[in-house]
């Protein structure tokens, strides 16, 4: 096993470090880095259905559901199509209204999650078009879809999903951009800019992994005995707040809650005192001023501020007790970078507490029973 881990202590950290390569693999043969064009043959197969679709319904569980939530923001912004994001387990047991004009996107690392699979079978029986974003080639979910895109993250062993998530995001953003191209809802300038930024992702992820590792380790050491964490983000970073909190729960057994930063006033703010670490995902974007004022609100109540911020953001850096900077990029891309420090933070908190992060108690890599 030591050899399989390639010199790393755990599969999880190995997989975190494999992310630049995983992103490259998920874009290979799709994004042309010189021409700045994107080809998604899976999407071409359902192009007509997509252009007629009344809406897109995304169905997933766990971390894959978080990828779906971010995709809702991307697809609605770029392609102006209505998107709904559903927990597969809820979707399958209610009586959802599905018609042949609906396109369902299933997101699954394993391709074997029972709830997701059954939800798709039901939607298919009602005539919907099923599109898969799956990692494991030839898996059950991959086989029942009408078309799809493999994420090509490679074999993921750690129970807490990292590189599979990053490639889901890369593929979903590609999906949104291609759909926007089909529907003529994106300018060629913005399209090229985003393609270029996507192409730069592996090197930017790499720089976070090398430059922030030590400071994140120190932050983890400082807060590893906290009883609870709050993760807050807005807009594109809201799904990242949810994923950051899930990651911490999974492998450190510390209670953590992800919330939309503004919504905290309706509940979680009651928990804030000098013992509560609050992780803000506060990169420079259209809601930056808003999140800065949310940070001030937590600070006024003596909460401990840990912030993921864009480089040179003096305002956010000045407010935070501890901060992690990430490279500048377009606001649509920044959530893909922002999750990297949160993965490392959970890893170091979990290992600092002596937990076997590759096999946390009670969790399974693939949930094939409902």
Cα separations in angstroms, 337 against 93, 210, 303, 346: 35, 13, 25, 16
215 sits near ligand G6P (criterion: CB under 6 A): no
Number of residues that bind ligand G6P (CB under 6 A): 15
> Which one of residues 110, 145, 191, 294 is an interface residue with ligand G6P (CB under 6 A)?
110
| Strand-strand pairing, 322-326 and 304-310 | parallel
The full DSSP string for 27-64 is HTTTEETTTTEE--HHHHHTHHHHHH-SEEEEEE-HHH
89 sits near ligand G6P (criterion: CB under 6 A): no
C-alpha torsion angle, residues 290, 87, 112, 64 (rounded to 10): 0
Query: Which one of the listed residues 5, 299, 359, 365 is annotated catalytic?
Result: 365
Q: Which residues fall within 8 angstroms of residue 280, CB to CB, at 6 or more apart?
A: 232, 233, 261, 291, 294, 295, 298, 305, 306, 307, 308, 316, 320
> Which one of residues 26, 89, 109, 212 is an interface residue with ligand G6P (CB under 6 A)?
109
346 sits near ligand G6P (criterion: CB under 6 A): no
Smallest separation, CB 9 to ligand G6P (Å): 20
User: In the complex with ligand G6P, which residue's Cβ is closer, 119 or 319?
Assistant: 119
Smallest separation, CB 164 to ligand G6P (Å): 7
User: In the complex with ligand G6P, which residue's Cβ is closer, 159 or 248?
Assistant: 159
> Which one of residues 19, 24, 26, 116 is an interface residue with ligand G6P (CB under 6 A)?
116
Q: Where are the alpha helices (DSSP H) in the chain?
A: 11-17, 19-27, 41-45, 47-52, 62-79, 88-93, 114-125, 140-144, 163-183, 188-211, 213-223, 238-252, 288-300, 314-319, 334-352
140 sits near ligand G6P (criterion: CB under 6 A): no
Instruction: Establish how many alpha carbons lie within 13 A of residue 239's alpha carbon, considering only the half-sphere containing its beta carbon.
Output: 23
366 sits near ligand G6P (criterion: CB under 6 A): yes
Smallest separation, CB 37 to ligand G6P (Å): 29
Residues of span 32-61 touching ligand G6P by CB under 6 A: 61
Beta-bridged to residue 84, according to DSSP, are 57
Integer Cα distance of 223 and 303 in angstroms: 12
User: In the complex with ligand G6P, which residue's Cβ is closer, 113 or 212?
Assistant: 113
> Which one of residues 266, 363, 368, 370 is an interface residue with ligand G6P (CB under 6 A)?
363
Active site residue 290: no
Candidate ranges 146-154, 212-220, 313-321, 362-370; the one touching ligand G6P (CB under 6 A)? 362-370
Cα separations in angstroms, 53 against 8, 41, 225, 358: 46, 19, 49, 40
Integer Cα distance of 41 and 57 in angstroms: 21
16 sits near ligand G6P (criterion: CB under 6 A): no
118 class by beta-carbon count within 10 Å (0-12 exposed, 13-18 middle, 19+ buried): middle
> Which one of residues 19, 24, 63, 294 is an interface residue with ligand G6P (CB under 6 A)?
63
Report whether 132 contacts 88 (CB < 8 A): no
Candidate ranges 76-84, 93-101, 104-112, 283-291; the one touching ligand G6P (CB under 6 A)? 104-112
Integer Cα distance of 20 and 203 in angstroms: 7
26 sits near ligand G6P (criterion: CB under 6 A): no
Contact flags string 156-195 toward ligand G6P, x per CB under 6 A: ---x-x----------------------------------
Candidate ranges 203-211, 230-238, 305-313, 358-366; the one touching ligand G6P (CB under 6 A)? 358-366
User: In the complex with ligand G6P, which residue's Cβ is closer, 169 or 298?
Assistant: 169
> Which one of residues 64, 167, 237, 283 is an interface residue with ligand G6P (CB under 6 A)?
64
108 sits near ligand G6P (criterion: CB under 6 A): yes
| Residue of 332, 323, 308 lying closest to 233 (CA atoms) | 308
129 sits near ligand G6P (criterion: CB under 6 A): no
| Residues annotated as part of the active site | 365
Binding site residues, ligand G6P, CB under 6 A? 61-64, 108-110, 113, 116, 159, 161, 363, 365-367
């Amino acid at each position: 096993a030591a050899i399989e881990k390639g010199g790393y202590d755990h599969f999880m950290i190995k997989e975190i470090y494999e992310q630049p390569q995983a992103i490259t693999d998920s874009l290979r043969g799709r994004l042309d880095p010189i021409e700045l064009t994107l080809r998604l043959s899976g999407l071409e197969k359902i192009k007509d259905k997509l252009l007629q679709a009344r809406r897109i319904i995304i169905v997933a569980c766990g971390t894959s559901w978080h990828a779906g939530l971010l995709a809702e923001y991307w697809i609605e912004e770029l392609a102006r199509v209505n998107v709904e994001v559903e927990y597969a387990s809820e979707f399958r047991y209610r009586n959802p209204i599905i018609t042949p004009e609906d396109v369902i996107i299933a997101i699954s690392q394993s391709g074997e999650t029972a709830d997701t699979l059954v939800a798709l079978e039901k939607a298919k029986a009602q005539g919907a078009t099923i599109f898969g974003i799956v990692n494991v080639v030839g898996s059950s979910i991959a086989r029942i879809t009408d078309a799809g895109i493999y994420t090509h993250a490679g074999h993921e062993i750690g129970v807490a999903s990292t590189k599979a998530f990053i490639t889901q995001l890369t593929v979903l953003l590609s999906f949104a951009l291609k759909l926007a191209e089909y529907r003529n809802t994106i300018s060629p300038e913005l399209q090229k800019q985003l393609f270029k930024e996507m192409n730069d992702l592996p090197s930017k992820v790499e720089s976070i992994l090398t430059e922030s590792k030590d400071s994140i380790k120190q932050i983890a050491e400082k807060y590893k005995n906290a009883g609870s964490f709050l993760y807050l983000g807005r807009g594109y970073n809201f799904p990242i707040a949810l994923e950051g909190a899930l990651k911490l729960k999974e492998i450190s057994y510390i209670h953590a809650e992800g919330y939309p930063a503004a919504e905290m006033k309706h509940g979680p703010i009651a928990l804030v005192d000098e013992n509560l670490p609050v992780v803000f995902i506060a990169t420079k974007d259209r809601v930056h001023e808003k999140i800065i004022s949310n940070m001030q609100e937590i600070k006024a109540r003596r909460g401990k501020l840990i912030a993921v911020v864009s480089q040179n953001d003096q305002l956010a850096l000045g407010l935070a007790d501890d901060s992690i900077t990430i490279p500048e990029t377009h606001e649509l891309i920044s959530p893909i970078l922002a999750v990297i420090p949160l993965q490392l933070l959970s890893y170091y908190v979990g290992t600092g507490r002596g937990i076997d992060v590759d096999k946390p108690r009670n969790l399974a890599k693939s949930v094939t029973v409902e």
